[in-house]
């Protein structure tokens, strides 16, 4: 048979679960202090040595470990990123996107495309964020994954926008504070308000402390469909609008609009899809299908963002160029007159 790139893609579920299993077993952490045999690693990870040897050989061809002798394995530089305690860790992303709940949703993709229905709720019996509130372990993995992704793009965001012009910057759905910490570290003037559900804020204090900005940042737990803190002059909303369908996204933006003074700004940070797909949007397009399954949300084009903002009484002021490798942009919006009712 001639080689088929599509067939390679279809077999992608195998490497994905092999890497996920390495994360689940803590294999990279068990290899942190140097090369080990399968037997030694089996002892450290509580696993079946002959099966672990087979996993290690597969991880070798995936580039996560190096086979130094037939039964002696060391971490590669890429494999090191599966460790929990490294600054460029990808452990949370692997743990989240290959988690059993997400995996089961992806198994329903044909049905989701047939019906357009949001799968996560059918699979787990709860909406995504209700489920996280009751499952602290998956919630912690989710928060870690979001922080890993945000850490990558934060330097480009901070460089692209003049955050120094604001007195108070609120980050709505700001997760564990990774982005707000990066912004406040870069500009000495503004104060911050980190706003999210309680489950997301669990480790926020530590993130803000470590960045040395805890004394300039208030942490507020709440539901952005009910109310958001008033009086900020910038409302950053990163990777949040894409979690929701148009109705919920407009409701969230209306709550935000109701809290804004005429001079305040909304800064949506998300990838923006062009009308014609290009290869560099790979991550955003995969995320779009993931949103169909796991949150009921979607990625959007610039025209869709403009309409959504307008439906919430907000006028688009500017759309930045792409920032970072995932094609994020900053969509700046201001209150349009008159304000609609929340
Ligand atoms: C995809 S994450 C993005 C996190 C962060 N902004 C980032 O980019 O790293 C979506 C965030 O929205 C928060 N969220 C979901 N529903 C919410 C609600 N009703 N009120 C406040 N925050 C909510 C989640 O807890 C989560 O932290």
Tens of pLDDT, residue by residue over 149-171, are 999 899 999 999 999 999 999 99
168/25 same-domain check? no
Whether residue 226 lies inside any domain: the answer is yes
In b/e form, how buried is each residue of 190-208, taking b as 16+ CB within 10 angstroms? Answer: bbbbbbbbebbbeebeebb
Alpha carbons 140 and 125: distance in angstroms, whole number: 20
pLDDT at position 326: 78
Whether residue 124 lies inside any domain: the answer is no
317/214 same-domain check? yes
Mean pLDDT across the chain: 96
pLDDT at position 2: 87
pLDDT at position 319: 97
In b/e form, how buried is each residue of 15-53, taking b as 16+ CB within 10 angstroms? Answer: bbebbbbbbebbbbbbbeeebbbbebbbebbebeeeebb
Whether residue 140 lies inside any domain: the answer is no
| 311 CB neighbour count, 10 Å cutoff | 16
| % of the chain residues with pLDDT over 90 | 93
**What is the span of the domain harbouring residue 79?**
5-83
Rg (the chain; Cα; Å):
22
Q: Say yes or no: CB of residue 295 within 6 Å of ligand 1.
A: no
Whether residue 93 lies inside any domain: the answer is no
Alpha carbons 160 and 155: distance in angstroms, whole number: 9
**Which residue in 84, 10, 25, 22 sits closest to 58, CA to CA?**
22
For the segment 307-335, the average pLDDT, to the nearest whole number, is 94
Q: Say yes or no: CB of residue 294 within 6 Å of ligand 1.
A: no
Give the Å distance between the CA of 228 and the centre of ligand 1: 13
Whether residue 217 lies inside any domain: the answer is yes
155/283 same-domain check? yes
pLDDT range class, residue 50, cuts 50, 70, 90: very high
Is residue 283 scored above 70 in pLDDT?
A: yes
- The residue whose CA has the least distance to atom 12 of ligand 1 is 173
* Options 161, 203, 242, 282, the catalytic residue: 242
Mutating to test ligand 1, I would choose from 133, 196, 201, 207 the residue with most ligand atoms within 8 A of its C-beta, which is: 196
Q: Say yes or no: CB of residue 227 within 6 Å of ligand 1.
A: no
76/202 same-domain check? no
198/310 same-domain check? yes
215/327 same-domain check? yes
72/167 same-domain check? no
Q: Say yes or no: CB of residue 243 within 6 Å of ligand 1.
A: yes
- Domain of residue 77, CATH code: 1.10.10.10
Using DSSP, state whether 4 is helix, strand or coil. Answer: coil
Q: Which of 45, 63, 83 is the last residue of a domain?
A: 83
75/154 same-domain check? no
Q: Say yes or no: CB of residue 174 within 6 Å of ligand 1.
A: yes
Q: Which of 39, 60, 83 is the last residue of a domain?
A: 83
pTM, two decimals, is 0.94
Whether residue 288 lies inside any domain: the answer is yes
77/171 same-domain check? no
- Domain of residue 205, CATH code: 3.40.50.150
Q: Which of 57, 83, 109 is the last residue of a domain?
A: 83
Give 99's contacts (C-beta < 8 A, 6+ positions apart): 20, 138, 141
pLDDT at position 339: 54
Are the C-beta atoms of residues 244 and 268 closer than 8 Å to each other? Answer: no
**Which residue in 69, 18, 82 sits closest to 40, CA to CA?**
69
50/195 same-domain check? no
For the segment 168-192, the average pLDDT, to the nearest whole number, is 97
Structural domain total, the chain: 2
Give 27's contacts (C-beta < 8 A, 6+ positions apart): 41, 45, 55, 56, 59, 82
232/315 same-domain check? yes
Active site residue 242: yes
Whether residue 102 lies inside any domain: the answer is no
Sign of the alpha-carbon dihedral angle for 121, 126, 130, 134: negative
For the segment 171-188, the average pLDDT, to the nearest whole number, is 97
Dihedral (C-alpha) 10, 14, 17, 22: value to the nearest 10 degrees? -140
Vertex 30, ends 199 and 144: CA angle to 5°?
Answer: 20
Give tens-digit pLDDT for 203-251. Answer: 999 999 999 999 999 999 999 999 999 999 999 999 999 999 999 999 9
Between 23 and 85, where is the model more confident? 23
pLDDT range class, residue 341, cuts 50, 70, 90: low
């Amino acid at each position: 048979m001639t080689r088929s790139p599509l067939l390679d893609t279809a077999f992608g579920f195998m490497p994905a679960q092999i890497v996920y299993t390495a994360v689940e077993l803590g294999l990279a952490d068990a290899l942190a202090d140097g090369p080990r045999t399968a037997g030694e690693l089996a002892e450290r990870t509580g696993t079946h040595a002959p099966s672990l040897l087979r996993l290690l050989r597969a991880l070798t061809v995936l580039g996560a470990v190096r086979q130094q002798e037939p039964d002696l394995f060391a971490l590669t530089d890429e494999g090191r990123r599966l460790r929990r305690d490294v600054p460029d860790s990808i452990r949370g992303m692997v743990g989240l996107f290959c988690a059993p709940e997400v995996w089961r949703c992806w198994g329903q993709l044909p049905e989701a495309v047939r019906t357009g229905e949001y799968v996560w709720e059918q699979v787990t019996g709860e909406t995504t964020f209700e489920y996280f509130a009751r499952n602290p372990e998956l919630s912690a993995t989710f928060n870690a994954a979001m922080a890993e992704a945000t850490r990558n793009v934060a330097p480009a965001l901070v460089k692209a926008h003049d955050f120094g012009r604001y007195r108070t910057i609120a980050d709505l759905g700001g997760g564990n504070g990774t982005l707000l910490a990066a912004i406040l570290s870069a500009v000495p003037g503004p104060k911050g308000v980190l706003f999210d559900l309680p489950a997301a804020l669990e480790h926020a204090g530590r993130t803000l402390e470590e960045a040395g900005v805890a004394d300039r940042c208030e942490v507020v737990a709440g539901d952005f469909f009910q109310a958001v803190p008033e009086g900020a002059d910038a409302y950053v909303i990163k990777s949040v609008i894409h979690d929701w369908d148009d109705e919920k996204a407009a409701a969230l933006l209306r709550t935000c609009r109701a809290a804004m003074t005429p001079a305040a700004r909304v800064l949506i940070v998300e990838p923006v899809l062009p009308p014609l797909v290009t290869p560099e949007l790979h991550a955003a397009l995969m995320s779009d299908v993931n949103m169909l399954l796991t949150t009921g949300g979607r990625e959007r084009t610039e025209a869709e963002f403009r309409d959504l903002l307008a439906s919430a009484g907000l006028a688009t002021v500017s759309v930045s160029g792409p920032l970072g490798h995932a094609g994020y942009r900053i969509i700046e919006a201001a209150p349009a007159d008159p304000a609609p009712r929340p």
